[in-house]
Amino acid sequence: MPSDRGGSSLRREAGVIGLLFASVGGIVGSGWLFGPLNAAKTAGPAALVAWMIGGLAVLLLSFVYAELSTAFPRGGAVVAFPKLSHGTLIAMVMSWVVFLGYVTVAPAEVLAVMKYAHNYLPGIVPAREAGSVLGFIEAAVLLAIFVALNLYGIRWLLRFNTVIVWWKLAVPLLTVILLIAVGGHFANLSSHGFAPMGTKGVLSAVSTSGIVFSYLGFRQAVELAGESANPRRNLPIAVVGSVVIGVVLYCGLQVALLSAVAPKDLAEGWGRLSFAGVAGPFAGLASLLGLGWLAVLLYIDSVVSPAGTGVIYSTTTARVLYAIGKEGLMGEWLATLNEKGVPALGLLVTFIGGVCFLLPFPSWQKIVTFISSAVVLSYGIGPVVLLTLRKTVPITEHPRPLTLAAPGLIGGLSFIISNLIIYWSGYGTDKWLFGLLAVLFVVYLVYELAARGGLNHLEWRGAWWLIPYFLGMWVLTYLGPKDLVGGTGFVLYPWDLLVVAVFSIVIMMLAVASGIPDPEEARATILAPEPELLGSVPQK
């Protein structure tokens, strides 16, 4: 494994509050500004159910990562986990998925800032959807600021983020209280039917309205595990606690929006909901309800919340790139650190990659749909790693600091739900995701063939199952219902859900069977619990 370059290493300076707020800061970003409106237009009042489904799915994943991150606390851990259980080749492939998912978040937050700011600065910040050259330049400059703030070191960054997160929590909570108190149109929850678009609308809202995108920030603490002062205590609190906070906050915001809309604005139903200031929905509703001062506060927050999330995702994207170099997967130079222990070259790559993703996705909702699919695909590897390491590094021989009860049930359910979220992202999104991964894989194989004269050195045993997995997910979305996933309609709803579930179980079995039989690196690096805690570890 390559050593750190630049004369320093990642510094273990992150405490429990810093890690918790890193994850909360990742969760509370542009999602709260636009997610509830998009969800209401897609699912009506049943958007509440969509937020709960998304929250449950991510909560299950958070349990999985709580065990993994406490047992193997490493910088950019999501890249290291599959390497420990299945080898270098699968880690390489998943590193591409992780990077694609992470590097697109900061650009999405940039677009959110500009979209909201256009309401009150139309001449200075042109609408990004118009595709203007000036708009692109302004977006690139804003992205550069997000990235540059990370150069001052993890301690400073987390302190800065903690201050921002207090603001990011206070403003949405105040919005929930005031809009519910002043609006109070609770008849809206049933006047046009609780679920006017049916269950299909609810399921579509989970992936395409920004719901899953909003929750995905929980893993910021996992990526910073290598910089935690006390990972066995801090990580479970940060990972699980951030998801619980997110679920409560987003459900409250959804109720606030549903009840604050004037009944006359629902004349054509939730699908065509429109009101003055809809481009900045919560600020617009505050103005309509006579809460002008709250509208001003929300316009300020429309910059603070997405910007804070953009900054923290730039932090973790650079850590993922650091892990790619550190684990010897690609470019040892990516593990180069500056004098403050910051992966500066990783930040540069983060900026360049983010600028590229400002080009093909001209709207917030389109880019977050792609992000949701890519990041959930990378998150879904967690349950596979968990069950594989439970088999090859059993807890009877290697107790964990935190042991998840019923790992088969929780791991299996979280893998199925992850695949359903990818499926609900739709064929239009998934064909780009899996197509891009196929291109990257072919390029990688050509490079390895040219460099080493063959491919036998690659660890195919641990990675071969990704081919039927990725190909199968692409085929399932292609065959799925037209009105749910944009497929050909060969497999109809709700039978498609059963097909995805069965497919997920089969892939999970293949994946676990393909793990490294004797994972020496995992056994050597697992973090055992403190001796006094051994008796309290559930032996499941």
For residue 370, what pLDDT is reported?
74
For residue 8, what pLDDT is reported?
47
Computed over every residue of the chain, the mean pLDDT equals 83
Amino acid at 112: A
For residue 490, what pLDDT is reported?
94
365: confidence class by pLDDT, cuts 50, 70, 90 = low
Answer yes or no: CATH 1.20.1740.10 is held by domain 16-525.
yes
Residues 189-235: tens digit of each pLDDT: 998 889 999 998 898 888 788 788 788 777 777 666 566 666 667 77
How far from the centroid of its chain's Cα atoms is residue 172's Cα?
20
Which of the pair, 368 or 260, is modelled with greater confidence? Answer: 260
Residues 313-350: tens digit of each pLDDT: 888 788 888 888 887 777 778 878 877 778 888 899 99
pLDDT higher than threshold 50 for residue 491: yes
Q: Average pLDDT in the 395-415 region?
A: 90
Cα of first residue to Cα of last residue in the chain, in angstroms, is: 33
For residue 466, what pLDDT is reported?
95
Instruction: List CB contacts of 280: < 8 A, sequence separation 6 or more.
Output: 33, 115, 116, 119, 298, 299, 302
For residue 539, what pLDDT is reported?
37
Which of the pair, 170 or 232, is modelled with greater confidence? Answer: 170
Which of the pair, 30 or 55, is modelled with greater confidence? Answer: 55
Q: Average pLDDT in the 371-377 region?
A: 77
Q: Average pLDDT in the 458-477 region?
A: 94
Amino acid at 512: V
Which of these ranges, 229-233, 471-475, 517-521, 529-533, has the smallest mean pLDDT?
A: 529-533
Residues 501-518: tens digit of each pLDDT: 999 999 999 999 999 999
For residue 32, what pLDDT is reported?
83
Q: Output the six-digit token pair for 467.
A: 């081919």
Q: Average pLDDT in the 444-460 region?
A: 87
pLDDT higher than threshold 70 for residue 530: no
- CA-based angle 96:77:69, to the nearest 5? 145
For residue 120, what pLDDT is reported?
63
pLDDT higher than threshold 80 for residue 177: yes
Q: How far apart are CA 250 and CA 51, in angstroms?
A: 7
In a 3-state reduction of DSSP, which class is residue 390?
helix
pLDDT higher than threshold 70 for residue 39: yes
In a 3-state reduction of DSSP, which class is residue 404?
coil
Residues 111-144: tens digit of each pLDDT: 778 877 766 666 555 444 445 777 788 888 889 9
Q: Average pLDDT in the 70-82 region?
A: 76
Q: Each residue of 306-338: b (16+ CB within 10 Å) or e?
A: bbbbbbbbbbbbbbbbbbbbbbebeeeebbbbe
Q: Where are the alpha helices (DSSP H) in 183-291?
A: 188-191, 198-208, 211-215, 220-223, 231-260, 281-288
For residue 217, what pLDDT is reported?
75
If phi > 0 it is left, if psi is from -120 to 50 it is alpha, else beta; for residue 277 that is left
Main-chain dihedrals φ then ψ at residue 228, nearest 5 degrees: -85, 135
For residue 73, what pLDDT is reported?
76
Which of these ranges, 167-171, 234-238, 485-489, has the smallest mean pLDDT?
A: 234-238
pLDDT higher than threshold 60 for residue 96: yes
Q: Average pLDDT in the 484-502 region?
A: 92
Q: Output the six-digit token pair for 380.
A: 């879904």
pLDDT higher than threshold 90 for residue 461: yes
pLDDT higher than threshold 80 for residue 84: yes
Q: How far apart are CA 229 and CA 447, in angstroms?
A: 40
- Select, from the ranges 26-30, 67-71, 138-142, 502-506, the one with the highest average predicted confidence (pLDDT): 502-506
